[in-house]
Structure 1
C-alpha cells in the first residue's frame, strides 16, 4: 500500500489547500532552505498519529497551524488528508486540529480514535514512524543510539512490536484483575461480617416493635386524659372572662361621659390662650417697632459722622494729586530733550550701515554665482562618471542576458512538448467527470425534493406537538394551582368543622353551613352575621333532650322546634322600603328543603349600602340589625363591628365547590389533548426515521459530488494552467529570439559609448580643481566685510531700542496726567455731595424721635389688657385640673378591670396554646387528632394515676434497647444474596487470571521465535549490503545480552575495508551514515516497507558512496515507494518525479512538479 496523494490546508506554511500527488518509484522534493520541504514530511507524520510537538519541530500543538504573515491573517485550523492505495483498496486518513485545542481523526470519512487508525495500519504492514521515516540529522546519530532503541527497528521488521503492545495490554489487564481479586476478598470479608451482625439485629427488631406498640396505646390513654382536663379548665376560665368583660364595658361608658365634659373645658381654655397669644403677639410687634425706630435714629447719626470723615479725606487727596501733576511735567521735559539727541546719533550710524550693506551684497552675489558654477561642474562630472559606470555594467549584463536567453530557449522547447501531452489527458478526464457529476446531481435533486416534503410535514407535526404540549402544561399547571388551593381550603374547612358534633347525636341534621346555599358575593356576609350559627350542629330539640338524658354532651348546637316559629326580629315595612336598604339577609339564603321552615327563629338583618346608611337607619329603627356589603355589622344593641369581612366555614365551602368544578373541567380538557399529542409523537418518530434514511443517502451523494467537483476543479485548474503555460511558452520563445538579436547590436553600441564618456570625465575633473582654488581666495576677503557690517548693525539696533523706551515713557506719563486730572474733578463732586447728605439726615432724625414717643404709649396700654386675661386663665386651668384628677381615678379603676379581663383572656389563650401544642404532640406521636383519641374506647381500663407510671416504665425499657435496625430482616436477606454472588465472582476472577497468564506465556514464546528469526535474516542482509556499499569490509548485528533475548538490546559492529576501529563511534560522519543506511536497507530486504521517507540523508556522503547508495535504492524502488528531500543534483537525477518548493510570499510555500523520463538511446 503506497501513498497516492496528500492534501494540506492550514498546516504550517501551506495556508491554501495544496494537493501533492505521489507515484510509485522515487519522488524528490527540492528547494532552498526554509521553503517548507520538511513541512511535507511533518504533515505525513502528523496525519499518521504524530503527537509530540518536538518531533514536528514545534513547541506546542498549535504551532502546526498557519500563523499568518503581513498579508494573510492566521488560520484557525490545520487539515491534512492522506490517501493510501494498493491493488484491492484505498485508505483515506484525515487529521484536523483547531486552534481552540480540539482534534479529530477520520478514517474513510468516519470519525475514529487514533488507536483505530494505528490498528488499521498494522493490519496493512505499515509500521511505526521509526521504520519508514529517516529524519533530517538522525541518520548519523543512529549508530550511537542505545541498543534498546536499535531493537525497536528489528521488532518492527519482525512484527513483534504488535505482540509486545498486546502483551503490555494483557499485563495491565492481569494486574487490574489481581487488584480486583484483592478488593473482592476484602468486600467478601466485610459482607460476611455484616451478614452475621444483621442476623442478630433481626431478633432485637421484633422485640422493639412490640414495645413501641405498647407505648403507643399508653400515649393514647394519656392524651385522652389531658384533653378532658384542659376542656374542664377552659369552661371555668371562659365564665370568669365574660364577667370581667361586662364590668369593663360599664366603666368605659362612665369614663366616656367624663372625658366629654373635660374636652369642653379644654376648648374654653384653648380659646382664651389663643386670645392671649394674639395680644402678646401685638405687644411684641409694638416693642419691635420701638426698637426699630431707636435703631434707625442711631444709624442716621452715625451716617452724618461718616459723611464728615469722607469730606475731609477727599480734601487731603486733592492736595496730593496736585503735587504729583507738577512732578510729571518736569520729567516729561527731560525725556523730550534726550529723545532729540538720540535721533541725531541714529541717523548718522544708519548712513554708514547702508554703505557697508551694499558692499556686502555685491560680494555675496559674486560668491553665490561662483558656487553655482562649481556645483554645475561637479554635477556634470558625477553624471559622466555615473554614465560611464552604468554603460560598462550594462555591457556585462547584456552579455549574460544573451547567454541566459539561449539556455531558456532550449528548455522552453522541451517543456512545450510535455505540456501539450498533459493538456490532452486533462481534457479527456474532465469530460468523463462532467458526465458523472450530471448524473449524481440529478439524483441529489430528486432526494432533496423528497426530503423537503418530509421536513415540511415534520415541521408541521413538531409545531402542532409543541402547541399541544404547551396547552397541556398550562392546563396541568392551572390544575396544580387549583389542587393546592383546594387542599389549603379543605384544611381550613376541617379546622373550622372541629365544632361539628353530629356523631354524638345520631339524629342531628349536620352543620348549618352544609344545609344552606347562597351566591358567592353574599357568602362572607353569612360568615359574619351567622358566624356562630353556621358552626353549630343543627338538631331537633326533642332529639337533643333524648341524647342528653343518655350521655354527657359538649359542643355548640342549634336547636330547632318541629313547629314553625314566627320571625324573631321582623323587619318593618317602612325600613324595607327605605332606598338605603339593598335587601333582607334571609332573602339571599337558599336553605335545603328539610330546614326551610326552621330558620325563622334566627336573626334577620337589613343589607344596606354602607356603614353611614346603617347608622342613620338604626337611629330610626333601633330594633333591627344592619349589615353592609363590605361586611360591617351594626346590631340592634348598638354594637358596631367594622372590618369583619373574613373567610368562614360557609365561604370556604362555597370556594371548595367552585374549585372542584374547575378541576373537573380542566381534566375534561386535558384528555383529548393528550390523545392528540400521542398520535403526533408517533407520526414524528416515523417521519424522523424516514428523514434520517434519506439524509444518509443524500450525504453519500454530497460526498460523491464533492469528490467529483474537487477532481473536476483540480483538472480544470490544471488544464487552464497547462494551456496558459503552452501560450506563455510560445510567446516567450518569440520574445527570446527578438531579444537575442537586439542584445547583439546593443553590445557594440555600449562599447563605443563607454570610451567617449571616459574622455569627457577626465576633462571636467581638471576644470573643477582650477575653479575651486580661485573661489577659496575670494571667500577670505568677503568674511572681513561681513564682520564690519554686523558691528554697525548692532550699534543702530541699540539706539533704536533706547528711542523706543523714551517714547513709551512719555506715553505713560501722559496717561498718568489724564488719570490724576479726572480724579481731582471726582473729589470736588464728592465734597459737595457729602454736605447735601448731612442736611437730609438731620431731618430724618427729628421725624424718628416723634414716632418713638407715640409707640411707647400704645405698648403700655396693651400690657394692662394682657394682665387681666392672665388672671382669668389661671382660674379656668384650676377647674380643668380637678376634672382631670376625677377622670384619672376612673381610668385607674378601668385599668384594674381591664387587667383582670386580660388575665382571664391570657389564661384562656394559654389553654388554647396548650391545646394546640397537645394537638401537635398527639399528631406527631400517634398520627391522630385529639378528637379521634377522645372518641376511641380504651381496650383495657387503666386508672389515670397508673397511666403515667406504666408509660414511663415502657419508655425506660425502650431506652435500654439502644439502637435497633428495623430493616434488619430485609437487609439480612439482601446481604445473604450478595455474599453468594461475590463468592461466585471470586471463583470466575481466579479462572480469568490463570487464563491471562497462560496467554502471556504464549505471546512470549511466539515473540522470541519471530524476533530471533528476523535477527538472523537481517544480520545476513546487513553483511551483504554493508559489503556492497563499502566495496568490502565486515559488519554484524548481535544481542547485548543473549541470555534474555526478549529484553536485550541490539549492538552493531562494523569494520570498513582497510580499517580496524575499536568502537563504532570512531567512524567518520560519512561512514556512520552509510552504515546506518546499510542497516535500514537490510531491514527493507527482510520486510519491505510500502513507502519510505528520507530527509537529506545524502548530505554526508561523498560522490562515490552516494552513487552506491543511489544504485541500491534504484534496485528496490519497485517494491518500496521512496520520497526524498535533497539538495544533491546526483540524487535528483535518479528521481522519477521532482517537486520544487519556493516562498514567493513570507511563510507561504509554493509547490511545482516535474515528471522526468529517461531518454531512449538511438
Structure 2
C-alpha cells in the first residue's frame, strides 16, 4: 500500500483544486519560507482525522478554510482527499484503491467519506489504526513529533511507542470498553433510579387497581340487585295501583248519591230563608224610618246643646277679655324697662370683648418674640458646650498621642536594622527561582493553546449532541404519549363497539329481534332508530329526550316484515317491540308558522338529525312536530304563544308537552344510546388521525436516535483527546502555580521590605514632627476649653430669665382666653333674650285693639242664640210621638220571623248530617286519588331511576332481572354493597390500565437491569483480556524496537551505543520510557545533555528504527533534518533511501542533500499573495533524458 495522490481544495493557502501525484519512493517538496509547504503536511494530517487546531497551526478549526485575499473572496469549505493504493488489502477494504475525504464548512459541520460513502470520524480512525498512519501514528513527522520524542517527561513518548508496538488498536478497544463500562454503570444508576421511582408508584397503583376491580364487582352486583328490586317494586306498585283505582271509583259513586240528598235539603232551607228575608226586609224598612226620625231628634238635641254651649263660651270669653285688657297695660311697661337693660348689657359686653382681644394679641406677640430670643440663646449655648467638649476631648487625645509617639520612635529604630538584613538574603534566592518559573510557563502556555483549540471543537460537538438528545427525548416522549393516548382510545372504542354490537341499553325484545336479523332469520329489518341516525353533540340530549323510548323502535322495510318480527316475539314470549315499516309510515306535518323566528328556536327535531334519505319519513313521523329550544324560558314563551299545540324540548332535556304539562330535572349527558354512537364515531376519527401521528413519531424517534448516536460518538472522541491534554495541563499548572506562588511571595517580601525601609525613614521624621505639634496643640486646646466654659455659664443665666417670663405670659394668655369665651356665651344669651322681649312687646300692643272689638261681638251673638234654642225644642217633641207608633209594628214582624226560623233550623240540621257524610266520602276519594297519584309517581320515579342510573327502559331492565329469594335480604345486600363502595373511597378506574402499564414498565426495567449487570461483567472480562494481550504484545515489540534502535543509531552515528528503557517494568502499559544514548567517543548521556543537532539526529534514528520494525505505507517528514549539519543531512538522506523500499517518503525540506535523494520534486510558489501553487519535476525522468545515473 502507498499514497498515490493528494487532492486539496479550499484548504488554507490552496483555494483552487490542486492534485499532487506521488511516486512509490521519495518525493520532496521545496519552496521559500511562507509559500505554504507545511500546509501540505497539515492537509494530510487533517484528512486523517486530526482534531487539534494547535497541531494544525491554527486558532480555531475554521482557520483551515481559505480566508480570502485582497483579490480573492474567501471560500465556504475546505476539502482534502487522500488516494491510497490498497491492492495488497492492508486497509481491510475489498477495493484496490481507497479515497479518504474530509470536508469542513464555515457553519461548523464536518463530513467524512471513504470512497465517497459518508462515514464517521471513528471509521476513519479505525481504518488507519495499527498501520502507523493516522493522527496518533508516526506517518507524519514534524518538529512537533521530534519535540514529543525528546520530551523531558518520558511518559509523553508512550503514544509513539504504542503505535510502533501495534497496541493502539487494543488500547482503543480497551478505552472504548472502559467507556462502555462507565456508561453501563451510569445506565445501572439511571435504571436503578427509575426502578426506585416506579416502585413508589407500583404498590399504590396495585392497591388502587385492586380497589377499582373490587368496585367494578360490587357495582355490577349492585346493578343487578337494584334493577331487580326496582322491578319488583314496580310490580307491587302496579298491583296497588289497580286496587286504589277500584276503591276510588266505588267511593265516588256513594259520594254522588249523598250530594243529591244534600242538594234537596239545601233547596228547602233556601225557600224558608227567602220568607224570612222578606219579613226582615219589611222590619228593616220600619226600623230605618224610626232610625231616621231618631237621628233627626238627636240632631235637634245636639244643636240645642251646641247653642247653649256657645252662649256659655261667649260669656266666658267676655269675662276673660275684660281681665286681659287690664293686665296687658301693666306688662307692656315692664317689658320696655327690661329691653333697655338688655341693650345696655350687650354694648358693655362688646366693649369688653374688644379690650380683651387687644390684650390677647399683645401677649401673643410678646410670647413669639420671647420664644425667638430663647431659641437663639439655646442654640448658642449648645454650640458652646459642643466646642468645649471637642476641645477637651482633643486635648486628651493629643496627650495620648504624645505618649504613643515616644514609644513608636524607639520601635522604628529597632525594625530598620532587621529589615535591612532580611532584604539582602532574599535577593539571592529570587534570581534562581525566576529562571525555573519561566521554563514551566512556556510549556503551560503551549498546552493551553492546544486545549482551547480542542474546546472549540468540543463545544460544537456538545451543542450538536444536546440538540440531538433534546430532539430524541422529545421524539421518544411524543411517541410514548401518543401510544398511551392511542391505547386508551382503542380501549374506549372497543368497549363502545361491543356495547353497540350487543345492543347494550336496548330492551330484551330489541336485542333478540336484532340478533335474529343478524342471523338472517328475520328479514327486512333495518335496525333501531338510534342506530340509523346521527345527531350533533349539541343536540344529543334534546333528541334523546324527544325520542324517549322511540329510540328503540325498529325500522322495517315493509309491514309484512314487522308482522313477521311481531309473530316471532309472540311465539317465543320474548317481549314487545314497536316497528316502523317504511312503506306505511307517513311524515308528520308541522303547520304552525313563524316558530322559526321565535327567540331561542334551534330547529325542528327532524331537521337537526342526519340519516339516509330512505329514513327521512320515519324521522319526520317521530320528530316532525317536536321543536328544539335553547332553554326553558324560550320554550315556555313559545308554548304560551302557540297554545301548547306541539311538543318542545330544550337542549338540556326539559320537555313541554302538548296540552301544557312539563317534564324536567337533571339528565345524564353521557349515558344515552345516541351519545354513545356519536362518541364512537368521534373516537374512530380521532384514532385514524392518531395512527398517522404515531407512524410519524416513530420515524422521528428512529431518525433522532441515529443522529444522537453519531453526534455522541464524535463528541466522545474529542473529549477523550481533551482529557489527555487536561491531565498534562493540570500537572503543568500545578508546577507553574507553585513557582508563581513562591515568586509572588518572594517579590512581595522584597517589595514589602524596601517599602518598609522607606516608610520607616519617613515615619521616624514624621514622628518627631508630630511630637512637637502634639505639645503645642495640647496648650491651645486647654485654653480654648476654659474660655468656652465661661461663655456657656453666662448664656445659662439668660436662658433662666426667658423661661420665667414665658411661664408668666402663658398664664396671662390663658386667663384672657377664658374671659373671652365667657363673654361670647353671655353676649349670645343676652341678644336672644332681647329679641324675645321685643317680640312680646309687639304682641301686647297689637292684641288690645282686637280684643275690644271682640267683646262687643260676643254680646250680640248670645242674643241670637237664645231665640234659636226655643224653636228647636218644639221640633223635638213632634219626632218622639211618631217613633212610639212604629215600635208596635216591629213587634208583630218579629214574632212571625221566629216561627219561620224554627222550620229552617230543622232543615239545616238534616243538611249538616248529610254534608258530614259527603265530606267523609270526599276525603276518602281524595285520599284514594292521592294514593293513586303517589303510586303513579313512584312508578315514574323508579322508571326514571332505571333510565338515569343505568340507561334502561322497563323492557330492557326486565332482560337483566335476576330472581330474588328475599326482598329484605336483597335490600340488606344493596345496603352492604353501597356501604362497601362508599368505604372504598375515591375510585380511580384508570388505575387498572395504569397499573398494568407501570407494572409492565417496572418488570421491563428489572429485566433490563439484570441484562446490564450481565453486560458489565462481560465488559470487565473483556478489559482484563485486552490488558493481558497488550502487555504481551508491547513487551515483545518493545524488545524488537530496542534492538532496531541500537542498530539504527550505530548506522547513523557511525558507532556509539543507544538503548530504550522502561521506567517501571511492573507497569509496562503506563510507565515512562527513557532513551539512553552514547555518541561515538563520548560518555553515556541522557537526552537533555545532548546538543540540539544530536537530539534531532537521535529522534530521527528512533523514527527510522520504528519504520524498520513496523513500516508505514508512507511517511511525511516536515523539515525534521533542519537542525542537522550538511554531513548528517547526507547520512539522513542516504538512510531514507535504504528504507524507501518498504516506506514511501514525502519530505518537506530546505536541505540540498535531501533534495538530491528525491525521485520527484514539487516546488511550492506564491506568485499571488496568499495563494500557493505547485510545480512538479520528475527527477528520474530528467536524469534519464540527461543520461545521468
- Fold-level similarity (TM above 0.5): no
TM-score, L = length of structure 2: 0.39
TM-score, L = length of structure 1: 0.40
